[in-house]
Amino acid sequence: MPKKQLFFLIVALVAVIVVTQAVFIVPQTEQALVLQFGDPVAHYKTPGLKFKIPFMQDVMFFDKRVLDVYTPAEEVILSDQKRLVIDTFARYKIDHMLQFYKSLETEDQANARLDNIINSNLRNVLGDVPLGDVLSAKRDALMQQLQQKVSATVKNYGIEIVDIRIVQANLPAQTSEAIYARMRTERQRQAAQFRAEGKEQKQEITATADKQRTIILADAEQQAQVLRGQGDAEATKIYAAAYNRDPSFYAFYRTMQAYRRSLTGNNTTLFLSPSSAFLRYFKDESGKK
């Protein structure tokens, strides 16, 4: 390759490198801060093609959108000495890039600083209210108060706090276990009470049923005795009427029934005198001999 062409090639390569080092693009969602030897010399919030001094200046980009920061769970003691483990999150945006860089430099450092500030102010705000306020509609007013305190603390950091909310508010593990233990004990006590009341009701129902059964059986036995008495009386009346109509036939009939009841089975043996009145119909059909 001729020296002249090589020279132009080197010049073109250097020009490309210089241009790439001197030109940068600011995206729509970001803002840029130009640093020269670590000191800010320019900042850009509008998107587009921008320029800087190559090899002498660097560019830092910061998000223009609303950012989220989730703080670690913090145990808070309320005014009524109740304890809660609270998770919060905050939304903020970088509204003054130069102040943000001078005080915090990066988003990671901003998140760490916000964690401490939010948790500190959270303890101050919730430490003056009882548990009922945290768990009721008053929570929104408490969050507004917390947001105002945090905003006042970070106003010199180039940060605008958009919103702060409680994600979860739980009882500490040991407190939850104690509450669950008390709840189990209370439920067991209620169950024992219900069983005792049910057993008592069962005994009352059983006693009432036994009493009614005894009364019903007694009434039934009384009625049966009355009916048997009436039946015996009617039978006696019928027997008497039959006897008066034909005494000899009635005597014969009754004797035949006595024979049937006495001479049952194949091995029945009777030891009677031949002159016994019981055997008179065996001697004579009229039963007179």
Residue 49: its pLDDT value, please?
Answer: 84
Residue 258: its pLDDT value, please?
Answer: 75
Residue 89 per-residue DSSP state: E
Look at residues 119, 140, 170 and tell me which one is the last residue of a structural domain: 170
* 48 part of a folded domain: yes
| Whether residues 44 and 76 fall in one domain | no
pLDDT of the chain, 289 residues: tens digit per residue: 566 666 667 767 766 676 667 788 888 888 888 888 878 888 888 888 877 878 777 888 888 899 989 888 888 888 888 888 888 889 999 888 888 888 888 888 999 999 989 988 988 888 888 888 887 888 888 889 989 999 988 888 989 999 998 888 877 777 656 667 778 888 888 888 999 899 999 999 999 999 999 999 999 988 999 888 888 888 888 877 776 776 777 777 777 777 777 767 667 676 666 666 666 666 666 655 5
Instruction: Return the number of other C-beta atoms located less than 10 Å from residue 92's C-beta.
Output: 22
Residue 76: its pLDDT value, please?
Answer: 85
| Whether residues 89 and 146 fall in one domain | yes
Instruction: Return the number of other C-beta atoms located less than 10 Å from residue 13's C-beta.
Output: 10
User: 48 in the Ramachandran plot: left (φ > 0), alpha (ψ -120 to 50) or beta?
Assistant: left
Look at residues 12, 32, 63 and tell me which one is the last residue of a structural domain: 63
Residue 284: its pLDDT value, please?
Answer: 64
Residue type at 46 in one-letter notation: T
* 182 part of a folded domain: no
| Whether residues 55 and 113 fall in one domain | no
| Whether residues 45 and 89 fall in one domain | no
Question: Closest Cα partner for 171 from 162, 183, 155, 160?
Answer: 183
| Whether residues 71 and 160 fall in one domain | yes
Kindly state the tokens that stand for 150. Answer: 């945090």
* 183 part of a folded domain: no
| Whether residues 97 and 23 fall in one domain | no
| Whether residues 89 and 156 fall in one domain | yes
User: What whole-number distance in Å separates Cα of residue 124 and Cα of residue 220?
Assistant: 84
* 180 part of a folded domain: no
- Half-sphere exposure for 25 (CA within 13 Å, toward CB): 4
User: What whole-number distance in Å separates Cα of residue 213 and Cα of residue 52?
Assistant: 109
SS3 279: helix
User: What whole-number distance in Å separates Cα of residue 123 and Cα of residue 116?
Assistant: 11
Residue 135: its pLDDT value, please?
Answer: 78
| Whether residues 73 and 160 fall in one domain | yes
Residue 212: its pLDDT value, please?
Answer: 92
Residue 272: its pLDDT value, please?
Answer: 66
Kindly state the tokens that stand for 101. Answer: 């860089």
Question: What global pTM score does this model have?
Answer: 0.55
Q: Count the domains in the chain.
A: 4
SS3 272: coil
| Whether residues 23 and 53 fall in one domain | yes
* 148 part of a folded domain: yes
User: What whole-number distance in Å separates Cα of residue 36 and Cα of residue 253?
Assistant: 146
Residue 72 per-residue DSSP state: P
Hey, which residues does 77 pair with through a beta bridge?
83
| Whether residues 74 and 162 fall in one domain | yes
DSSP string, 97-127: HHHHHHHT-SHHHHHHHHHHHHHHHHHHHHT
Look at residues 63, 86, 112 and tell me which one is the last residue of a structural domain: 63
Burial class (CB in 10 A: 0-12, 13-18, 19+), 164: buried
Residue 212 structural domain: 189-245
Residue 92: its pLDDT value, please?
Answer: 92
Q: At what angle do helices 247-262 and 173-245 cross, to 10 degrees?
A: 130
